[in-house]
Every structure is written in structure tokens, then in C-alpha cells.
Structure 1
Amino acid sequence: MKKTKYLLTSLPCLLLSTFAQANFDILKDCDPLADTHPSRAKNYIVCLDDNIRNLERTRKTWITKLRLDMDLIEQDTGNSQLLPIIERSFIRQDNYIEDSCRWRYLHQMPNATKAAIIYKKCKIRMLKRHIEDLKHPY
């Protein structure tokens, strides 16, 4: 009975991780569109925005998988300390990503186009790193 329950609760985690990996693999190559001239940078910025949305969706999927895994661990072991710490780390990671990219943005001002590109590239890099951390086995 316990084996069946574990199998049924593990299936959503497997499906989530498969979906997340597929999203990570379909990032667009924006480099051919790279341009900092305000009138020509629009397509490049849109491409970067699409990649950010894709990475955020993938990151949310991995976070959901991790939450489900922690729920299972809590049910099996009774350890209720893991999930609150993990939730706090997600909030702090969001703040870190935002602040780290924002100071880079402000450093490029008053060139708003260049600043936006720097911010978006930073966010993509940070989201990729966080997704890799979320994938790492615990």
C-alpha cells in the first residue's frame, strides 16, 4: 500500500521535471538580433523577454516539484522544518536576482535601451543558475 501511495505521489513530480526540462531547452537564440540602437533593439528586447518568461515558467515548475517533494518527505519523516526554510530561500533568491540586476541597470543609465538589455541578460543568467540549483539533487 505504501509503495502504491509513493508511486502515485511521485508521478506528478516526474511529469513536472520533464516539462521543466523541455521548457529550458527551447530558449530562443537572441544574439543575431543584438543591437543597442533604440529603434532596432525592440526585437532583441522582445526576444529576451520571451526567454525570461520561459525561464520563469521553468523555475516555477521546479519550485513546485521541490515543494511536492518536501511535502512527501514531511509526510514520511514528520520533519516540518524543511518547507519553511525552502520557502524563505525562494523569497530571498527573488530579492537577490532583482537587486543584482537592478544595480546593473542603474549603472547603464541614462541609456535606457542599453540598461534594459543589460537587466534582461542579467535576469536570464540568474534564472538559469537558479534553475540549475533547483535541479541539483538534495
Structure 2
Amino acid sequence: MNKLIYKLLCIGLLCVSSHSNAYQAKKLTDCDKQFSNNTELSRCLDIVKDSIDRELQTWINSQVFILEEFALETGRRSALEMFKRSQRNFITYRENNCRWQYLHISPDTRAAAAFKKCYITTTRNRINELSQLEKNN
């Protein structure tokens, strides 16, 4: 019963979060279509980056909740600890993967946008992975 309530709460929070940002760009393509100026594009990408970070955190919280419940039922915390480690490793990977792309393009003014696009794409892929895990639970 607790799992069902938690999942409904998470879905509700995602809906509220999506609704409150309804008039802001939500995808890379929104920014690319609306802005050609590097400064405006960068600002738009910041909005998408912040939004996707919040969405990722919701998925992480959901997975942690599931794994904590599992640990309470079984007494085994190894899956929870490994998930937390994998998330820390993901953050490091994302930073390094996007940073080399930034450095490769730098000092071109498009470097910041390239970093942000990489960050958004990599985070979206992680969200897709976590959402698939939840479907299987």
C-alpha cells in the first residue's frame, strides 16, 4: 500500500512541477528553435537544465524509497548502497563527459551551450533508465 501511495505522490509532484513550468522551454529543441543568439540560447538551456535536474531528483527519490523499503523488508542494504554509489558515479561521468566537449569547442562562444546540451541529454538518458526500472518493479 505504501508503494502505491508514494508512486501516486511522485506522479502528482511531477504533474505539478510540469504545470508550474508550462510556459518555459522544456526541451533542447525548444531552445534551438526559439533562440539563435548565444546568450539567449544559454539562458534557455539553463531553464531546461534546472527543470531536468528536478525531474531526475524525483526519479532518484523514488528509487531510493523503493530500495529503502526493500532493505527494511529483507535486512539487505547492499542494493540501496550500490544505487547511491552508481548515482554519485553518474554525476562524475556526466560532468567529465560534458566538460571534455566544452574544452574541445572552447574558446568558441558555443562551448557553454554544448556543455549544457550534453548535460541535458545525458540526464535525460539517466531519467529514461530510472523510469524503465520503475516499470519493472
TM range (shorter): 0.7 to 0.9
- Give aligned pairs, total: 127
Which is further off, 10-19 or 51-60? 10-19
Going from structure 1 to structure 2, the CA distance change for 1:119 and 1:21 (only over 3 Å counts) comes to farther
Aligned-residue offset at 1:20: 3.4
Letter in 1 for 2:112: A
Partner of residue 133, structure 1? 129
TM-score by length of 1: 0.82
Partner of residue 54, structure 2? 57
Going from structure 1 to structure 2, the CA distance change for 1:24 and 1:128 (only over 3 Å counts) comes to farther
Going from structure 1 to structure 2, the CA distance change for 1:23 and 1:132 (only over 3 Å counts) comes to farther
Letter in 2 for 1:132: N
Q: Is the 8 A contact 1:17 1:62 kept in 2?
A: no
Aligned-residue offset at 1:16: 1.2
Aligned-residue offset at 1:60: 0.4
TM-score by length of 2: 0.83
Identity within the alignment, %? 28
Task: Return the alpha-carbon distance in structure 2 between the equivalents of residues 22 and 105 of structure 1.
Answer: 33
Q: Is the 8 A contact 1:52 1:120 kept in 2?
A: yes
Letter in 2 for 1:136: Q
Q: Which 5+ residue runs of structure 1 have no aligned equivalent? A: 1-6
Partner of residue 73, structure 1? 70
Task: Return the alpha-carbon distance in structure 2 between the equivalents of residues 34 and 98 of structure 1.
Answer: 25
Name the SS for the 1:69 alignment partner.
helix
Which segments of structure 1 move beyond 6 Å, counting only runs of 4 or more? Answer: none
Larger gyration radius, structure 1 or structure 2: 1
Going from structure 1 to structure 2, the CA distance change for 1:33 and 1:106 (only over 3 Å counts) comes to same
**Can you list the C-alpha shifts for 1:85-127, whole angstroms capped at 9, x where unaligned?**
000000000000000000000000111x210011011011001
Task: Return the alpha-carbon distance in structure 1 between the equivalents of residues 74 and 40 of structure 2.
Answer: 51
Partner of residue 31, structure 2? 30
Partner of residue 42, structure 1? 39
Partner of residue 102, structure 2? 105
